[in-house]
Amino acid sequence: MPGHGCASNSCSKVLASIPPWQLSSTQLGKEANVDTKTNHLIYIIDDDADMVELLADDLEQKGYQVAAHTRVHSFFERFKTRIPDAIIVDMVIHEMPGWQIIKKIKNTHDLGNVKVIAISGILEEQDVRRMGLKADSYLEKPVSADTVDRILKELLL
């Protein structure tokens, strides 16, 4: 793996499990072989590993760089290596509720401009808005990669 770009769709998930200090600049996505029109870095945090894997694979096929996380600690550690263009946050994570994750990101000076898509299979959009969260968009689960792609294009262009 060292010194080579990622060839498989599951590359980001594998890389997300490796400590950032053990990755080369290529593996961190600084020189990824991705269409530059959609060369946006997206972080996903959800404790549903199956959902994370499916969404990450689909977004990678659409040309995004994706770092998928099921653990909150590894998610926040990733910010030390590179700030994403957008994050997708499940609102119901056992380790730390999504609203706390969003609040922490939006209240951090260097991260305030990161676009946030909140997703939930339990909470409705008005619940999220009532919490006063600064999410840029909200989607109800199950989410499709096409819908996420459309929202990301709206937010990032």
Helix, strand, coil tally for the chain in percent (to 5)? 40, 15, 45
Q: What is the mean pLDDT of residues 76-83?
A: 91
pLDDT at 43: 97
Strand partners, 41: 65
Give tens-digit pLDDT for 92-115: 898 999 989 998 998 888 888 899
Identify whether the C-beta of residue 19 lies closer than 8 Å to the C-beta of residue 108. Answer: no
CA 38 to chain centre: 14
pLDDT at 127: 64
The pTM is what? Answer: 0.73
pLDDT at 120: 87
Q: What is the mean pLDDT of residues 70-83?
A: 92
pLDDT at 128: 60
pLDDT at 9: 45
Select the more confidently predicted residue: 78 or 123.
Answer: 78
Which residue type sits at 41? L
Q: For each of the domains in the chain, give its residue range(s) and CATH number, in order of start.
A: 11-156 (3.40.50.2300)
Residue 152: which pLDDT band, with cuts at 50, 70 and 90? very high
Give tens-digit pLDDT for 15-53: 454 444 333 333 444 333 434 346 899 999 999 999 999
Buried b or exposed e, range 32-54, using 16+ CB within 10 angstroms: eebeeebebbbbbbbbeeebbbb
pLDDT at 31: 37
Give tens-digit pLDDT for 111-138: 888 999 999 887 666 666 666 677 899 9
pLDDT at 7: 40
